[in-house]
Amino acid sequence: MQLQKKEKIFKSNKNEISGILNILGICGVLASDEFPCYEDEFVDEYRRSPVEHKNDFDYPINRWRASDGINYKKFEKVFGYEL
């Protein structure tokens, strides 16, 4: 995973990082405009192309790319402070 090859912020393993990324996707901090978090809109499996079983992550993080960036409004809502 490309994100794990970057500088470590805290001690973790691959499964822990995957869990954190999935949680950030579900709560909308890491979600794309095309595939939003569940709070904003439910995108059913027929609109989630390509097939999801080729990706280790859950929706919507499996559609997120670093170029999508961070949703700062969702970050503030979830964590209670502004970046």
Rg (CA), the chain: 13
Whether 21 is in a domain gets the answer: yes
pLDDT of residue 20: 92
Whether 34 is in a domain gets the answer: yes
| Cβ partners under 8 Å of residue 63, min gap 6 | 31, 32, 34, 35, 48
Domain region containing 53: 13-79
What's the pLDDT tens digit per position in 26-75? 999 998 888 888 888 887 777 766 655 666 788 888 888 889 999 999 99
Whether 23 is in a domain gets the answer: yes
Q: How many domains does the chain have?
A: 1
pLDDT of residue 72: 95
Whether 2 is in a domain gets the answer: no
C-alpha distance from residue 6 to each of 1, 10, 45, 53, 59 (Å): 10, 12, 31, 26, 23
Whether 7 is in a domain gets the answer: no
